[in-house]
Structure 1
Amino acid sequence: MGKRSLQDKVLILLSWGLVLMCSAAEQDYFPHSNTSTWDEARTHCQVCFKELVTVTPQNIQNIQNLSQNLTSDYWVGLRKYFYCTGNRSISWSRWANGDPLIFQNWYPGSPRFKSFPNSYCCSCSCSCTNPAMTTPGKTSFTTFTSFTTSGVRNTTDMSSFTDITNFTTSGVRNTTDMSSFTDMSSFTDITNQTVTDFNRLSDATTQNTPPATTPRMPVEAECVQSPTLSPLVSETDVNYIEDSCVAMLSFGAWVEKKCSELLPYVCYDDRFLGQVNVTNKTTESAFLTWQPGPGNISHYRIEVKVDNNLTQFTTYNLTHDLVNLTAGTGYSVQVFPVKCGRELNPQKVTFYTEPNKVENLLVINVTKTSVSLMWDKPVGNLDFYLIKVQDGQQIRSDTQSKEVNSLIPGNLYTFTVHSVVNDTLSEGYNTSKYTKPGKVLELKACENNLNSVLLRWKQPDGGFTGFVGKATYGNKCTVASASSK
């Protein structure tokens, strides 16, 4: 896989940053004054919070505000190396929670590198005009052949020799140090036990007697002083830490420290935002359910508040059945997940129990167009009463009685009365009643005879089921009925 260019890396970091900006949860920060190693601090943060604090462009302002209250160096969730699948990752690449490092705030001089190069400097050295003679008075050797008058004895590598051996016809005699020789004019030939020219020795390897040679003077190298540049040599930084961890200074900048140092630290946790649901509400009970808190939740503490009274419960479950409640009453509930003795943000809900239904509903008056009702207030609380009429009317009442108007004469109506609290209706209490029918119109008597009289009239508005006629003579009353046909 080819190496990425700097531009590619910047684009990748920007992409990671955009993902973080879109998905970052709201966070809370928790400084700890007790000192721990970096690993111990991280373990505690993972168990009781989420992680050691992570610094991003989104939370830098919160971190800066937090650092103003810090009085020393604090561990944060950044380490030079993290290990995955057995291979060391790139240094300073990810936070402890796995987020990529897209923001840095190093103190000047940090982070430190393992070594740094010396700068070039000028020096004077000897530059030789004769490349074959690098040192005055010395000859560079490749091989040396030892021999006698009878022929070749052996060959010795002379590439590292600094002295020369004197020979006789019988072999090697002694060794004389040549390191201080500058003049070889006193040497004659090999028969005088002195070697004068080693460039001709190779010819002697094929003869029985050493050849006679003419003395040759060594050529001295001519040296010229000239400025040169010294090589680039790296020096190890004595303050370098191979696997360092990051501490945040009290003013927010970062420095490297040994991970084994004991420092206070800052943990963070995503702000928990859950919700409580209420089901099966009755006049005196309700069933609660809520979402599980993050991490190692030991238990849940429930607060139930009504007016100025507070009741508390503890549970290890995600449900709770509230009982012995008051009808028509508003309750405020908070459920706190408890993690390492610390209460997370509570899940909240408010609700009302159902009000009790009214009692003793009575019809106290009826007219052709109205019916008057009266009832007793139920036990518990309520906001008002709602009267539902069969014809679709809904009438509000703030008292325990109400006249229902705009009815049609002679019709049967069913009236249902509810107690209401916070738009929650109680069970209804109902009664039925006819309104009075209307009066007949244009009543006339006709076809009179000795024993009867025929009455005619116009039917009234509204409903009716029949007619009743009364004839009175003196103290006598005669009643006659007729159908509606």
Structure 2
Amino acid sequence: MEVKPLAAFVFLAAVIAICPAEAERLYFPQINNMSWDEARTYCQVCFKELVSVTPDNSAVLVEILNNDSWIGMRKKLGGPMDWSRWSDNTSLVFQNWYPRSPDPNNTEDTCVKLLSFGAWLEDNCNSLLPSICYEDRFYGMLNISNIRTTSVTLQWTAGPGNISYYRVTYLSNSSDVTALTYDIHDLVPGTQYQFNVYPVKCGRDLNSENASAYTQPEMVTQLSVTDISTTWAFLVWTKPEGNSSDYRVTVSSDSFAQNLVFKNCSANISTLQPGTNYTFTVTALVEDRSIEGVNTSVSNTTYPAAVTNFSVSHFNSTSIELNWAKPEGIINGYNILVTEYNSSTFLKSIRLSESSTNTSITDLNPGLSYFFNITTFSGNLVSLSKNITKATISGPVTFHDHHHPNFLSAFPAESQGSVMMIRADQVSLSP
């Protein structure tokens, strides 16, 4: 029968959605001539099934069609009646038959071909024709685990149907594997990689499963505290092998923790407390903070602070009392050194507990100047010193009063300018 493209008998629905909400449907015209059964088997092996025509895809199929082609409709496919079910087991809800087709008088099992202009026409199932296969776009999931400095493990979703193998690619590397997992080695630490896994079916790449990840940065090396004071510390370290975007420095003590981020391989850590032991931990980071390197730590103690308001509160001929204010931070106690000022003779060393804020220096000689040096200590660390010089009051001095020959005048050690007068003939003086 001669088939003419009669527009009056062809209904093509407007395409609003090419694919169902749950999947994106793809269509693959096959140019090889096969029987309907051969075409269906090929579609099932290499795709999903012979195409089913719907109002949503009819216009699309006409656009890609160059020849009359088999579709997934056959008279007897197990439906409740002839021509009621598609080969993918979906019910017939749309028809676009060529005039006087199908032939109601034909009792043979016949198949349907889609004419190049969109109409349906039954034909002998053994006729050799091109065909149209379909497949839902594959959306798998690629998972990256066991991320280390130079290796990762990939795991992915199995592709649909008979997958020949999976092609795993990253950078310019490509490997064909049949399993659903693959270990990749010899990567660069701290580097972002894009991984793609293509299920290969009948020599055709399906939609790839994709994921990206950073490898773990290496740990920094040669971390050290090169300088430290009462309130700051300066750290340096060596850049790790591979890549890293910046570094997190964690500063911690028994009662304090703080995270800081630095771009370069050094850090000046300020606002520390005097006399406190700190642990400085440096970690290499990647740009998106998805993974971090192994920690490297070093500990050190800030110097204790010096006392403030060091002064003399009271003194006499044999003692001097010292006062001071306790400094900020942690100290274990105080060291006071006493030296005779004029001769630089060291006299004594006094160690006091951290709760002390004053002390009396006794057994001094009248009328001498003394040099006092005070430092705080925390463990083996000693603060800067504070110094003060003070003289004791002179002792009694006697002499003859030339205006009163029979009297001696005496200045008591703690007098405020008053004078005692005694008769010389009433006092026995030692030679």
Q: Same fold (TM over 0.5)?
A: yes
Query: Which amino acid in structure 2 is aligned with residue 51 of structure 1?
Result: E
Equivalent residue in structure 2 for 1:72, among 56, 67, 90: 67
Aligned residue among 236, 253, 264 for 2:119: 253
**Residues 243/379 of structure 1: CA separation in 2 closer, same or farther (3 Å cut):** same
Q: How does 1:56-455 map to 2 (within 5 A)?
A: 56-63=54-61, 67-83=62-78, 89-114=80-105, 240=106, 242-305=108-171, 310-390=172-252, 391-421=256-286, 422-423=288-289, 424-446=291-313, 448=315, 453-455=320-322
Contact 2:138/2:159 (<8 A) preserved: yes
> 2:383 aligns to what?
none
Larger Rg: 1
Q: How far apart are residue 30 of structure 1 and its match?
A: 1.1
Residues paired across the two proteins, number: 330
Q: CA deviation at 1:53?
A: 0.8
State the alpha-carbon separation in 1 of the partners of residues 69 and 80 from structure 2. 24
Q: Residue type matched to 2:179 in 1? A: N
Partners of 1:28 and 1:451 lie apart in 2 by: 107
- The normalised TM-score by structure 2 is 0.72
Within 2, Cα distance between the matches of 1:23 and 1:92?
A: 26
Distance in 1 between residues matched to 2:83 and 2:280, nearest whole Å? 77
Q: CA deviation at 1:23?
A: 6.6
Alignment match, 1:189:
none
Q: Shift of residue 109 of structure 1?
A: 3.1
Cα pair 1:416 1:431 within 8 Å, conserved: yes
Deviations 1:43-89 (A, max 9, x none): 111111110011223434433xxx22322101111111113xxxx74
Q: Is 2:29–2:64's contact at 8 Å kept on the other side of the alignment?
A: no
CA separation in 1, counterparts of 2:217 and 2:319?
Answer: 62
1:68 match: secondary structure: helix
Once residues 55 and 306 of structure 2 are traced to their aligned partners in structure 1, the CA distance between those partners, rounded to angstroms, is: 85
Find the aligned partners of 1:40 and 1:451 in 2 and give their Cα distance: 122
Identify unmatched segments of 5+ residues in structure 1. Answer: 1-20, 115-239
Question: Separation in 2 of the partners of 1:448 and 1:243?
Answer: 128
> Are the equivalent residues in 1 in contact too, given 2:144–2:153 (CA < 8 A)?
yes
Contact 2:35 2:128 in 1 (8 A): yes
The corresponding residue for 2:51 is: 53
Per-residue deviation, 1:466: 1.7
Kept in 2, the 8 Å contact 1:241–1:257? The answer is: no
- The correspondence for 1:43, drawn from 41, 46, 64, is 41
AA of the residue aligned to 1:255: L
- Listed one character per residue, the Cα deviations across residues 254-289 of structure 1 (whole Å, up to 9, x for unaligned) are 221111111100111121111111111111111111
CA contact (8 A) 2:58 2:118 kept: no
CA distances 1:126-178 after superposition (whole Å, capped 9, x unpaired): xxxxxxxxxxxxxxxxxxxxxxxxxxxxxxxxxxxxxxxxxxxxxxxxxxxxx
Which residue in the other structure is 1:137 paired with? none
Over 3 Å counting, the alpha-carbon distance change for 1:374 and 1:72 in structure 2 is same
The change in CA–CA distance for 1:22 and 1:264 in structure 2 (over 3 A counts) is closer
8 Å contact kept, 2:217–2:244:
yes
**Partner residue of 2:400?**
none
User: Relative to structure 1, is the Cα distance of residues 297 and 255 closer, same or farther in structure 2, using a 3 angstrom cutoff?
Assistant: same
Q: Distance in 1 between matches of 2:132 and 2:345?
A: 107
What's the CA shift for 1:296?
Answer: 0.9
Look up the SS of the partner of 1:40 in the other structure: helix
Select which of 331, 353, 358 maps to 1:483.
353
Distance 1:22 1:250 in 2: 24
CA RMSD, 1 decimal:
2.2
SS at match of 1:393: strand
Deviations 1:331-375 (A, max 9, x none): 111111111221211111101110011111111222322211111
The more displaced of 402-411 and 382-391 is 402-411
Shift of 1:465: 1.8
Partners of 2:122 and 2:107 lie apart in 1 by 8
Query: Percent identity at matched positions?
Result: 41
Aligned counterparts of 1:378 and 1:347: Cα–Cα separation in 2: 32
Query: Tell me, which stretches of 5 or more residues in structure 2 are unaligned?
Result: 1-18, 356-431
**Rounded Cα–Cα distance in structure 2 between residues aligned with 1:74 and 1:280:** 50
- Cα deviation for residue 451 of structure 1 reads 7.0
Letter of the 1:76 partner, please give it.
I
Equivalent-residue separation in structure 1 for 2:23 and 2:203 (angstroms): 23
- Which of these residues, 32, 39, 43, is aligned with residue 34 of structure 1? 32
CA positional deviation for 1:446:
5.0
Cα distance in 2 for partners of 1:301, 1:78 equals 35
Aligned to 1:203: none
Q: TM-score, normalised by structure 1?
A: 0.64
With a CA cutoff of 8 Å and minimum separation of 6, indicate the structure with the bigger relative contact order.
1
Q: Per-residue deviation at 1:442?
A: 2.0
Change (3 A) 1:246 1:269: same
Q: For 2:205, give the aligned amino acid.
A: E
Distance verdict in 2 for CA 1:57–1:71, change over 3 Å: closer
Amino acid at match of 1:357: M
Change (3 A) 1:335 1:363: same
> What secondary structure is seen at the aligned counterpart in 1 of 2:200?
strand
Distance 1:471 1:47, change over 3 A: same
